[in-house]
Protein backbone atom coordinates (compact mmCIF):
# COMPACT_ATOMS: atom_id res chain seq x y z
CA UNK A 1 0.00 0.00 0.00
CA UNK A 2 1.26 3.46 -0.90
CA UNK A 3 1.77 5.49 2.29
CA UNK A 4 5.07 7.40 2.10
CA UNK A 5 6.24 9.63 -0.76
CA UNK A 6 9.65 11.25 -1.21
CA UNK A 7 10.23 13.79 -3.99
CA UNK A 8 13.81 14.52 -4.99
CA UNK A 9 14.22 18.20 -5.95
CA UNK A 10 17.38 18.86 -7.95
CA UNK A 11 18.98 22.06 -9.17
CA UNK A 12 16.78 23.88 -11.74
CA UNK A 13 13.74 21.81 -10.79
CA UNK A 14 10.58 22.70 -12.74
CA UNK A 15 8.01 24.23 -10.35
CA UNK A 16 4.92 22.97 -12.18
CA UNK A 17 6.01 19.33 -12.26
CA UNK A 18 7.06 19.56 -8.61
CA UNK A 19 3.70 21.16 -7.87
CA UNK A 20 1.84 18.28 -9.52
CA UNK A 21 3.44 15.82 -7.09
CA UNK A 22 2.75 18.14 -4.15
CA UNK A 23 -0.88 18.55 -5.21
CA UNK A 24 -1.59 14.83 -5.62
CA UNK A 25 0.45 13.36 -2.78
CA UNK A 26 1.39 16.27 -0.51
CA UNK A 27 -2.00 17.91 0.05
CA UNK A 28 -3.92 16.51 3.03
CA UNK A 29 -7.42 15.57 1.86
CA UNK A 30 -8.17 12.96 4.50
CA UNK A 31 -11.05 15.15 5.75
CA UNK A 32 -12.65 14.49 2.36
CA UNK A 33 -12.21 10.74 2.77
CA UNK A 34 -9.24 10.57 0.41
CA UNK A 35 -5.94 8.81 1.20
CA UNK A 36 -3.22 10.64 3.05
CA UNK A 37 0.52 10.24 2.62
CA UNK A 38 3.67 11.05 4.56
CA UNK A 39 5.13 13.44 2.03
CA UNK A 40 8.63 14.89 1.94
CA UNK A 41 10.48 17.09 -0.53
CA UNK A 42 14.12 16.06 -0.36
CA UNK A 43 17.32 17.71 -1.53
CA UNK A 44 20.99 16.92 -1.43
CA UNK A 45 22.04 17.76 2.16
CA UNK A 46 18.70 19.59 2.51
CA UNK A 47 20.27 22.68 0.93
CA UNK A 48 18.19 25.30 -0.96
CA UNK A 49 17.36 24.38 -4.54
CA UNK A 50 17.06 26.77 -7.49
CA UNK A 51 14.03 26.35 -9.71
CA UNK A 52 13.86 26.80 -13.47
CA UNK A 53 11.66 29.86 -12.85
CA UNK A 54 14.37 31.69 -10.94
CA UNK A 55 13.21 31.42 -7.34
CA UNK A 56 14.68 29.20 -4.63
CA UNK A 57 12.91 26.63 -2.48
CA UNK A 58 14.02 24.92 0.71
CA UNK A 59 13.52 21.13 0.88
CA UNK A 60 12.26 19.80 4.18
CA UNK A 61 14.86 17.01 4.39
CA UNK A 62 18.02 15.57 2.93
CA UNK A 63 17.95 12.27 1.00
CA UNK A 64 17.33 10.08 4.08
CA UNK A 65 13.52 9.75 3.52
CA UNK A 66 14.18 8.28 0.06
CA UNK A 67 15.39 5.07 1.71
CA UNK A 68 12.02 4.50 3.39
CA UNK A 69 9.53 5.83 0.84
CA UNK A 70 7.01 3.64 -0.97
CA UNK A 71 7.19 6.11 -3.87
CA UNK A 72 10.25 8.08 -4.93
CA UNK A 73 9.50 10.78 -7.51
CA UNK A 74 11.78 12.96 -9.62
CA UNK A 75 10.21 16.08 -11.19
CA UNK A 76 11.51 17.67 -14.39
CA UNK A 77 14.77 19.53 -14.38
CA UNK A 78 17.46 20.32 -16.94
CA UNK A 79 18.08 17.23 -19.04
CA UNK A 80 21.78 18.09 -19.42
CA UNK A 81 22.41 18.59 -15.72
CA UNK A 82 24.82 16.35 -13.88
CA UNK A 83 23.08 14.47 -11.09
CA UNK A 84 24.91 14.14 -7.76
CA UNK A 85 26.14 10.57 -7.18
CA UNK A 86 24.31 10.44 -3.85
CA UNK A 87 20.99 10.95 -5.65
CA UNK A 88 21.74 8.22 -8.19
CA UNK A 89 22.71 5.81 -5.42
CA UNK A 90 19.51 6.58 -3.48
CA UNK A 91 17.38 5.95 -6.56
CA UNK A 92 19.11 2.62 -7.19
CA UNK A 93 18.50 1.56 -3.59
CA UNK A 94 14.83 2.48 -3.90
CA UNK A 95 14.50 0.44 -7.10
CA UNK A 96 16.37 -2.51 -5.59
CA UNK A 97 13.95 -2.74 -2.66
CA UNK A 98 10.91 -2.58 -4.96
CA UNK A 99 9.68 0.95 -4.29
CA UNK A 100 7.86 2.84 -7.01
CA UNK A 101 10.30 5.10 -8.84
CA UNK A 102 8.51 7.79 -10.82
CA UNK A 103 9.77 10.54 -13.12
CA UNK A 104 7.83 13.46 -14.53
CA UNK A 105 8.87 14.84 -17.92
CA UNK A 106 12.67 15.24 -18.17
CA UNK A 107 13.08 13.60 -14.77
CA UNK A 108 13.45 10.43 -16.86
CA UNK A 109 17.03 11.50 -17.63
CA UNK A 110 17.83 11.20 -13.92
CA UNK A 111 16.48 7.65 -13.88
CA UNK A 112 18.54 6.97 -16.99
CA UNK A 113 21.72 8.20 -15.30
CA UNK A 114 20.92 5.85 -12.44
CA UNK A 115 20.73 2.94 -14.90
CA UNK A 116 17.07 2.31 -14.14
CA UNK A 117 15.80 2.60 -17.74
CA UNK A 118 17.93 -0.16 -19.27
CA UNK A 119 15.69 -2.87 -20.67
CA UNK A 120 12.56 -1.03 -19.50
CA UNK A 121 9.66 0.71 -21.24
CA UNK A 122 9.67 4.43 -20.52
CA UNK A 123 8.78 7.85 -21.89
CA UNK A 124 9.45 11.56 -21.48
CA UNK A 125 8.36 14.84 -23.09
CA UNK A 126 8.03 14.45 -26.86
CA UNK A 127 10.77 17.00 -27.41
CA UNK A 128 13.25 14.82 -25.55
CA UNK A 129 12.37 11.26 -26.59
CA UNK A 130 15.05 11.02 -29.29
CA UNK A 131 17.67 12.40 -26.93
CA UNK A 132 16.62 9.97 -24.19
CA UNK A 133 16.84 7.03 -26.59
CA UNK A 134 20.23 8.15 -27.87
CA UNK A 135 21.68 8.51 -24.39
CA UNK A 136 20.17 5.25 -23.15
CA UNK A 137 20.05 2.84 -26.09
CA UNK A 138 19.04 -0.10 -23.91
CA UNK A 139 15.85 1.70 -22.85
CA UNK A 140 12.61 1.13 -24.77
CA UNK A 141 11.44 4.72 -25.18
CA UNK A 142 7.78 5.00 -26.18
CA UNK A 143 7.51 8.36 -27.86
CA UNK A 144 3.71 8.41 -28.17
CA UNK A 145 2.73 7.61 -24.59
CA UNK A 146 1.36 10.00 -21.99
CA UNK A 147 2.87 7.76 -19.32
CA UNK A 148 4.38 4.30 -19.11
CA UNK A 149 4.53 1.84 -16.24
CA UNK A 150 7.03 -1.01 -16.34
CA UNK A 151 6.70 -2.83 -13.05
CA UNK A 152 7.40 -0.34 -10.25
CA UNK A 153 9.01 2.09 -12.71
CA UNK A 154 6.69 4.89 -13.88
CA UNK A 155 7.64 7.63 -16.33
CA UNK A 156 5.46 10.38 -17.75
CA UNK A 157 5.55 12.77 -20.66
CA UNK A 158 5.66 16.52 -20.15
CA UNK A 159 3.81 18.82 -17.79
CA UNK A 160 0.14 17.80 -17.52
CA UNK A 161 0.94 14.19 -18.37
CA UNK A 162 2.39 14.05 -14.88
CA UNK A 163 -1.15 14.48 -13.56
CA UNK A 164 -2.30 11.58 -15.75
CA UNK A 165 0.48 9.40 -14.37
CA UNK A 166 -0.23 10.39 -10.75
CA UNK A 167 -3.93 9.60 -11.13
CA UNK A 168 -3.01 6.28 -12.76
CA UNK A 169 -0.94 5.39 -9.71
CA UNK A 170 -3.70 6.47 -7.34
CA UNK A 171 -6.18 4.39 -9.34
CA UNK A 172 -3.89 1.38 -9.20
CA UNK A 173 -3.32 1.68 -5.46
CA UNK A 174 -6.75 2.82 -4.27
CA UNK A 175 -9.24 2.07 -7.06
CA UNK A 176 -11.02 3.99 -9.79
CA UNK A 177 -13.55 5.66 -7.49
CA UNK A 178 -10.84 7.25 -5.32
CA UNK A 179 -8.91 8.46 -8.38
CA UNK A 180 -12.07 9.97 -9.85
CA UNK A 181 -12.93 11.75 -6.59
CA UNK A 182 -9.39 13.11 -6.36
CA UNK A 183 -9.54 14.32 -9.96
CA UNK A 184 -12.81 16.13 -9.27
CA UNK A 185 -11.29 17.71 -6.17
CA UNK A 186 -8.38 18.94 -8.30
CA UNK A 187 -10.78 20.12 -11.03
CA UNK A 188 -9.13 17.96 -13.70
CA UNK A 189 -10.60 15.13 -15.77
CA UNK A 190 -9.96 11.64 -14.37
CA UNK A 191 -8.75 10.72 -17.85
CA UNK A 192 -7.15 13.01 -20.39
CA UNK A 193 -10.16 13.10 -22.74
CA UNK A 194 -12.89 12.94 -20.12
CA UNK A 195 -12.76 9.22 -19.45
CA UNK A 196 -13.09 7.77 -22.95
CA UNK A 197 -9.53 6.82 -23.76
CA UNK A 198 -7.35 6.34 -20.68
CA UNK A 199 -5.47 3.56 -22.39
CA UNK A 200 -5.05 5.21 -25.77
CA UNK A 201 -1.30 5.74 -25.79
CA UNK A 202 -1.44 9.17 -27.42
CA UNK A 203 -4.11 11.81 -28.11
CA UNK A 204 -6.01 11.02 -31.31
CA UNK A 205 -4.74 13.25 -34.13
CA UNK A 206 -7.30 15.65 -35.51
CA UNK A 207 -5.24 17.08 -38.34
CA UNK A 208 -7.58 18.21 -41.15
CA UNK A 209 -5.53 16.43 -43.81
CA UNK A 210 -6.08 12.99 -42.20
CA UNK A 211 -9.34 11.18 -41.43
CA UNK A 212 -9.87 10.85 -37.69
CA UNK A 213 -10.82 7.61 -35.97
CA UNK A 214 -12.53 9.41 -33.10
CA UNK A 215 -16.09 8.57 -34.29
CA UNK A 216 -15.18 4.88 -34.48
CA UNK A 217 -13.55 4.97 -31.04
CA UNK A 218 -16.56 6.75 -29.58
CA UNK A 219 -18.87 4.15 -31.08
CA UNK A 220 -16.64 1.38 -29.75
CA UNK A 221 -16.90 2.72 -26.21
CA UNK A 222 -20.66 2.23 -26.34
CA UNK A 223 -20.47 -1.30 -27.74
CA UNK A 224 -17.71 -2.98 -25.74
CA UNK A 225 -19.99 -5.91 -24.94
CA UNK A 226 -20.27 -6.91 -28.59
CA UNK A 227 -17.94 -9.34 -30.38
CA UNK A 228 -16.06 -7.04 -32.72
CA UNK A 229 -13.69 -7.72 -35.60
CA UNK A 230 -11.21 -5.54 -37.45
CA UNK A 231 -13.26 -6.13 -40.58
CA UNK A 232 -16.41 -4.72 -38.96
CA UNK A 233 -14.56 -1.71 -37.60
CA UNK A 234 -12.85 -1.09 -40.93
CA UNK A 235 -16.21 -1.14 -42.68
CA UNK A 236 -17.59 1.35 -40.18
CA UNK A 237 -14.57 3.59 -40.83
CA UNK A 238 -14.94 3.20 -44.60
CA UNK A 239 -11.51 1.58 -45.02
CA UNK A 240 -10.06 -1.75 -45.96
CA UNK A 241 -9.01 -3.87 -42.96
CA UNK A 242 -5.32 -3.38 -43.79
CA UNK A 243 -5.65 0.39 -44.16
CA UNK A 244 -7.73 0.58 -40.99
CA UNK A 245 -5.15 -1.37 -38.96
CA UNK A 246 -2.35 0.85 -40.27
CA UNK A 247 -4.31 4.05 -39.60
CA UNK A 248 -5.32 2.84 -36.14
CA UNK A 249 -1.71 2.25 -35.11
CA UNK A 250 -0.64 5.59 -36.58
CA UNK A 251 -3.34 7.51 -34.67
CA UNK A 252 -3.39 5.64 -31.35
CA UNK A 253 0.05 4.04 -31.15
CA UNK A 254 -1.32 0.54 -30.72
CA UNK A 255 -3.33 -2.17 -32.49
CA UNK A 256 -7.15 -2.32 -32.56
CA UNK A 257 -7.09 -5.56 -30.54
CA UNK A 258 -4.82 -4.18 -27.82
CA UNK A 259 -6.73 -0.88 -27.57
CA UNK A 260 -10.06 -2.69 -27.34
CA UNK A 261 -8.75 -5.15 -24.75
CA UNK A 262 -7.46 -2.31 -22.57
CA UNK A 263 -10.80 -0.50 -22.76
CA UNK A 264 -12.60 -3.70 -21.78
CA UNK A 265 -10.27 -4.21 -18.83
CA UNK A 266 -10.96 -0.65 -17.68
CA UNK A 267 -14.72 -1.28 -17.89
CA UNK A 268 -14.32 -4.57 -16.01
CA UNK A 269 -12.45 -2.77 -13.22
CA UNK A 270 -15.31 -0.31 -12.78
CA UNK A 271 -17.91 -3.09 -12.80
CA UNK A 272 -15.96 -5.11 -10.24
CA UNK A 273 -15.62 -2.08 -7.97
CA UNK A 274 -19.07 -0.57 -8.33
CA UNK A 275 -21.49 -3.47 -8.86
CA UNK A 276 -22.31 -6.88 -7.40
CA UNK A 277 -22.35 -8.56 -10.79
CA UNK A 278 -20.75 -12.00 -10.90
CA UNK A 279 -17.39 -12.33 -12.61
CA UNK A 280 -19.14 -14.17 -15.44
CA UNK A 281 -21.62 -11.30 -15.86
CA UNK A 282 -18.79 -8.73 -15.76
CA UNK A 283 -17.03 -10.72 -18.48
CA UNK A 284 -20.16 -10.55 -20.63
CA UNK A 285 -20.78 -6.85 -20.15
CA UNK A 286 -17.12 -6.01 -20.77
CA UNK A 287 -17.06 -8.03 -23.99
CA UNK A 288 -14.75 -10.85 -22.94
CA UNK A 289 -17.41 -13.52 -23.48
CA UNK A 290 -16.60 -15.68 -20.48
CA UNK A 291 -14.85 -15.54 -17.11
CA UNK A 292 -11.79 -17.43 -18.33
CA UNK A 293 -11.02 -14.84 -21.02
CA UNK A 294 -11.63 -12.01 -18.53
CA UNK A 295 -9.23 -13.58 -16.00
CA UNK A 296 -6.55 -14.02 -18.65
CA UNK A 297 -6.58 -10.44 -19.93
CA UNK A 298 -7.38 -8.81 -16.59
CA UNK A 299 -4.55 -10.54 -14.75
CA UNK A 300 -2.09 -9.75 -17.50
CA UNK A 301 -2.85 -6.02 -17.44
CA UNK A 302 -3.82 -5.36 -13.83
CA UNK A 303 -1.58 -7.86 -12.06
CA UNK A 304 -4.39 -9.48 -10.07
CA UNK A 305 -7.31 -11.77 -10.82
CA UNK A 306 -10.79 -10.22 -11.00
CA UNK A 307 -11.75 -11.89 -7.71
CA UNK A 308 -8.68 -10.60 -5.87
CA UNK A 309 -9.12 -7.12 -7.36
CA UNK A 310 -12.76 -7.00 -6.23
CA UNK A 311 -11.86 -8.17 -2.73
CA UNK A 312 -9.21 -5.47 -2.51
CA UNK A 313 -11.20 -2.52 -3.79
CA UNK A 314 -14.92 -3.16 -3.40
CA UNK A 315 -14.84 -2.67 0.37
CA UNK A 316 -13.54 0.86 -0.17
CA UNK A 317 -16.33 1.84 -2.58
CA UNK A 318 -20.00 2.16 -1.64
CA UNK A 319 -22.06 -0.27 -3.72
CA UNK A 320 -25.31 1.21 -5.00
Through-space distance between the first and last CA atoms of the chain, rounded to whole angstroms: 26
Q: How far is CA 98 from CA 59, 64, 70, 151, 168, in A?
A: 25, 17, 8, 9, 18
**What pLDDT, in 10s, does the model give residues 243-261?**
999 888 887 778 899 989 9
Counting residues of the chain whose pLDDT is more than 90, the rounded percentage is: 62
Domains along the sequence of the chain with CATH: 4-186 (3.40.50.880), 209-319 (1.10.10.60)
Concatenated DSSP letters of 271-315:
HHHH----HHHHHHHTT-SSHHHHHHHHHHHHSS-HHHHHHHHGG
Question: Exposed, middle or buried: residue 282 (CB in 10 Å: 0-12, 13-18, 19+)?
Answer: buried
Q: Determine the Cα–Cα distance for residues 15 and 167; give it in Å rounded to an integer.
A: 19
Whether the pTM exceeds 0.85: the reply is: no
Interval 274-320: pLDDT, tens: 899 999 999 999 999 999 999 999 888 877 889 988 887 765 544 33
Residues in the chain, total: 320
The number of beta carbons lying within 10 Å of the beta carbon of residue 206 is: 9
**Whole-number Å distance between alpha carbons of 179 and 219:** 25
CA of residue 306 relative to chain centroid, distance = 20
Phi–psi pair at 101, nearest 5 degrees: -125, 125
Amino acid sequence: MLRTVAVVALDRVAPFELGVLCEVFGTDRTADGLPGYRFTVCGVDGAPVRTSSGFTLLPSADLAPVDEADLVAVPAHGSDAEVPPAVLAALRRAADRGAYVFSVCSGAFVLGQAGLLDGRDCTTHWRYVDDLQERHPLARVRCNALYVQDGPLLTSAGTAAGIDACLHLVRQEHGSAVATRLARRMVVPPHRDGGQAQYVEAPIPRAPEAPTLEPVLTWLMGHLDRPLTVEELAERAGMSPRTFARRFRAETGTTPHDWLTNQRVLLARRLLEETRLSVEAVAGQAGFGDAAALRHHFTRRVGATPAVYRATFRERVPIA
